[in-house]
Amino acid sequence: MESTGMTTTIAIVEDNATLRQCLAEFLSSTEGHRCVCTCGSAR
C-alpha cells in the first residue's frame, strides 16, 4: 500500500480468488483508493 498524493494505491495478496476480486472491486470503487495489483500469493 502506498499513498500518492490524495490517492492510496493498493496491492492485494489473497489466495481466495473470489474474495480477492471482491476486495479489488470494492477498493477501486472507493474514492481515494486505486487497486494496482492483485495476486494469489506473495511468492
Which spans of this chain sit near another protein (rule: CB under 8 A)? 1-3, 8, 10-11, 14-16, 19, 23, 26, 30, 33, 42
**CA atoms of 9 and 22, how far apart (whole Å):** 16
Q: How far is the CB of 32 from another protein (least distance, A)?
A: 9
Q: How far is the CB of 37 from another protein (least distance, A)?
A: 9
Q: How far is the CB of 21 from another protein (least distance, A)?
A: 14
